[in-house]
Amino acid sequence: MKNINLVYGTMNGEAKFVASELSNYLTEKSANHPLYEPIELSGWTPPENELLIIVCSSTGYGDLPDEIYPWFLELETKAPYLPTLEYGLVGLGDSSYDIFCGAIVQFETLLADLGATAIQPTLKLDATEHYAPERDAEKWLSDYVTSL
């Protein structure tokens, strides 16, 4: 299995928790899976031969959490084209807000613009319906992992 890089963006810790649970799941599967803190991402371009997983909540008006926003901008303005990069996205949001899961949709658009390929459709978890987002995210990732 290729190296899996886990990245998260959070305001109040839920996305970090979900990413940590995915990390625990990957430990059980013996996958190599560094979990990056948002502040560690400055200057980091996801390696194309490794899988990128982003777990990100939305804040404001479909906006990215503060700590991960600089990395998003960096990718948007400086990243090279990444046509062989594979990625998977997990969005945490709340459908009572006007722009549901806006932050992960921004990542979706950006990665598509960079030529990267999604391993499966973005998982968008609605806090009004998904009371254990970590379990839904694990199931989503296991669909991919078990297909390898």
| List of residues contacting ligand FMN (CB under 6 A) | 10-15, 57-62, 65, 92-94, 97, 99-102, 127
Give me the least distance between CB of 73 and ligand FMN, in Å please.
19
User: By Cβ distance, which residue is nearest to ligand FMN?
Assistant: 93
Torsion of CA 122, 102, 16, 128, to 10 degrees: -90
Give me the least distance between CB of 11 and ligand FMN, in Å please.
3
The letter for the amino acid at 12 is: N
Helix, strand, coil abundance in the chain, percent, nearest 5: 35, 20, 45
Give whichever of 5 and 57 is closer to ligand FMN, judged by the CB atom.
57
Give me the least distance between CB of 140 and ligand FMN, in Å please.
16
- The encoded tokens of residue 8 equal 């998260």
Asked whether 39 and 68 are in contact (CB, 8 A), the reply is: no
The letter for the amino acid at 145 is: V
Secondary structure element (H or E) that encloses residue 26, with its range: helix 14-28
Give whichever of 11 and 89 is closer to ligand FMN, judged by the CB atom.
11
Give me the least distance between CB of 132 and ligand FMN, in Å please.
12
Give whichever of 76 and 129 is closer to ligand FMN, judged by the CB atom.
129
